């Protein structure tokens, strides 16, 4: 057995060690490590979780990339028509990483009931629409099933349904401005077949999902014309490179923008969470490290006579330093164990029981989302252990300054 490890283990196992003067300080050091790892795990899990949740909700309504005519990118309403007869439709085979493409159109409308009215954006979609995200958001009814035939089925948000006092099965009258402004508005009676709630109130209070054929008829478009294309990518981290390739492989009159560019303010806001995470991690490691430094210094002071005896018996400074570093490592591991146990318990409770709600008007989500990955948990534990141990190398240097004669006589 390793000599230094053997001595350190004897110190840790001894009853005198557990009831010594340094015991309370050691417990504070362990608690600091545990609290630090809990705070860091929660910060990373909720920070990344919030980023991904908000990003997914924006993508659900807009796709990862949007192809439209130049000048239409900042408009909420489709101004011009694009033909579906493109080389990149219905599959974008020329660019690797594009998983899906769909043609959609948007138009401003007003839903009117006997007692209320609501201004909305009606998003027209067809048979190629990707419903994956809305399957998760569906709270009542079913998703529309569109074919080549006209359909009055519509998907409404819970926010709009509550404001208009309507539910699944009801019919709503939607008014659209006619392209010929001298004529009366066009009225389409939609039947509500499903109600969704994404938790992103900025979009929930805006979008109604309907069949694109109605918007094509109102805008006097051909049946193979849409307002713009939405693309989905396989790997979000490759969004910008894929956008560049898509732009190069589309006609010159078409522009391609990312969802991050179109909703810059939202994505700039959520990047703040990354900076906050780095700050919290730095502060927690420093606090935990300094607490362990204090605990180590108290341990050295308490074992001064032992240090003197070991030196007198021929042990060198590094051997004695290793004894105390082994001791400190045990305390760090103990703190990490309890920190992980409590931290994961809190995160799993939130993940499955959602006990901590958030204001959707501020955070765009109704509860704190949790992202769990063995990668970041392992990296956090290993990083904390190494950094705390490195911080302890400096105070352990004090052992080299202890004289054997004075240490043995020390009381």
Model confidence pLDDT, tens digit, residues 337-346: 999 999 999 9
Nearest-CA neighbor of 142 among 212, 60, 214, 209?
A: 209
H or E segment to which residue 196 belongs: strand 186-196
List Cα–Cα distances, 219 to 83, 222, 223, in angstroms: 14, 9, 11
Asked whether residue 237 carries a pLDDT value surpassing 80, the answer given is: yes
List Cα–Cα distances, 376 to 41, 48, 341, 369, 372, in angstroms: 9, 11, 15, 16, 8
Give the single-character DSSP code of 397.
Answer: G
Helices (H), ranges, 303-363? 304-312, 317-353, 360-363
> What is the rounded CA–CA span in Å between residue 14 and residue 199?
56
Asked whether residue 18 carries a pLDDT value surpassing 70, the answer given is: no
pLDDT in tens, 197-211: 998 888 999 999 999
Asked whether residue 378 carries a pLDDT value surpassing 70, the answer given is: yes
Residue 397 is predicted with a pLDDT of 79
Mean pLDDT of the chain: 88
DSSP-assigned states of every residue in 100-113: EEEEEEEEEEEEE-
- How confident is the model over 22-38, as a mean pLDDT? 88
pLDDT in tens, 51-106: 899 999 999 999 999 999 886 555 678 877 899 999 999 999 999 999 999 999 99
pLDDT in tens, 238-247: 999 999 999 9
> What is the rounded CA–CA span in Å between residue 311 and residue 406?
11
Nearest-CA neighbor of 365 among 155, 121, 202, 237?
A: 202
Nearest-CA neighbor of 58 among 274, 210, 317, 261?
A: 261
List Cα–Cα distances, 69 to 36, 84, 228, 246, in angstroms: 51, 13, 8, 14
Residue 406 is predicted with a pLDDT of 62
For the ranges 18-22, 274-278, 333-337, the maximum mean pLDDT occurs at 333-337
Tokens encoding 249: 């492989």
pLDDT in tens, 391-409: 888 888 787 777 776 666 6
H or E segment to which residue 289 belongs: helix 264-302
How do the domains of the chain map onto residue ranges?
A: 3-57+267-409, 71-252
- How confident is the model over 29-48, as a mean pLDDT? 92
**Lowest mean pLDDT, pick from 7-16, 277-286, 292-301:** 7-16
Asked whether residue 158 carries a pLDDT value surpassing 80, the answer given is: yes
Residue 379 is predicted with a pLDDT of 94
pTM: 0.82
Residue 1 is predicted with a pLDDT of 56
- How confident is the model over 317-332, as a mean pLDDT? 88
Report the length, in residues, of the chain: 411
CB 125, CB 229: distance < 8 Å: no
For the ranges 67-71, 199-203, 319-323, 382-386, the maximum mean pLDDT occurs at 382-386
Nearest-CA neighbor of 6 among 363, 382, 323?
A: 323
Residue 21 is predicted with a pLDDT of 64
> What is the rounded CA–CA span in Å between residue 361 and residue 350?
20
- How confident is the model over 317-324, as a mean pLDDT? 87
pLDDT in tens, 255-281: 999 999 999 988 988 888 778 888 888
């Amino acid at each position: 057995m390793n000599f230094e490890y053997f001595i350190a283990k004897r110190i840790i196992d001894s009853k005198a060690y557990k009831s010594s003067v340094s015991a309370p300080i050691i417990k504070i050091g362990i608690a600091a490590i545990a609290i630090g790892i809990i705070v860091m795990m929660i910060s990373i899990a909720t920070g990344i979780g919030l980023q991904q949740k908000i990003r997914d909700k924006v993508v659900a309504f807009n796709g990862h990339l949007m192809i439209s005519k130049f000048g239409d990118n900042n408009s909420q309403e489709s101004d011009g028509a694009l033909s579906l007869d493109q080389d990149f439709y219905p599959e974008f085979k020329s660019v690797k990483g594009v998983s899906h493409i769909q043609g959609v159109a948007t138009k401003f409308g007003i839903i009117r009931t006997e007692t209320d009215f609501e201004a909305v954006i009606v998003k027209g979609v067809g048979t190629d629409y990707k419903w994956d995200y809305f399957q998760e958001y569906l709270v009542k009814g079913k998703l529309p099933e569109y074919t080549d035939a006209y359909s009055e089925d519509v998907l409404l948000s819970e926010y709009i349904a509550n404001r208009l006092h309507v539910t699944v099965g009801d019919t709503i009258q939607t008014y659209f401005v006619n392209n010929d402004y001298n004529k009366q508005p066009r009225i389409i009676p939609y039947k509500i077949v499903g109600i969704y709630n994404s938790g992103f109130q900025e979009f929930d209070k805006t979008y109604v999902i309907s069949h694109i054929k109605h918007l094509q008829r109102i805008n006097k478009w051909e049946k193979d014309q849409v307002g713009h294309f939405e693309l989905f990518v396989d790997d979000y981290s490759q969004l910008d490179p894929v956008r560049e390739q898509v732009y190069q492989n589309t006609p010159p009159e078409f522009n391609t923008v990312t969802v991050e560019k179109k909703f810059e303010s939202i994505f700039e806001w959520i990047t703040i969470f990354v900076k906050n995470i780095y700050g919290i991690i730095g502060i927690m490691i420093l606090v935990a490290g300094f607490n362990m430094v204090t605990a180590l210094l108290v341990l050295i002071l308490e074992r001064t006579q032992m240090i003197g005896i070991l030196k007198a018996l021929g042990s060198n400074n590094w051997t004695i330093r290793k004894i105390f570093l082994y001791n400190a490592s045990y305390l760090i591991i103990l703190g990490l164990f309890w920190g992980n146990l409590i931290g994961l318990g809190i995160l799993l409770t939130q993940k499955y029981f959602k006990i901590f709600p958030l204001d959707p008007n501020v955070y765009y989500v109704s509860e704190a989302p949790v992202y769990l990955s063995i990668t970041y948990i392992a990296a956090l534990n290993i990083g904390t252990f190494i950094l705390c141990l490195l911080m302890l190398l400096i105070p352990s240097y004090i052992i080299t300054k202890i004289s054997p004669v004075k240490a043995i006589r020390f009381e």
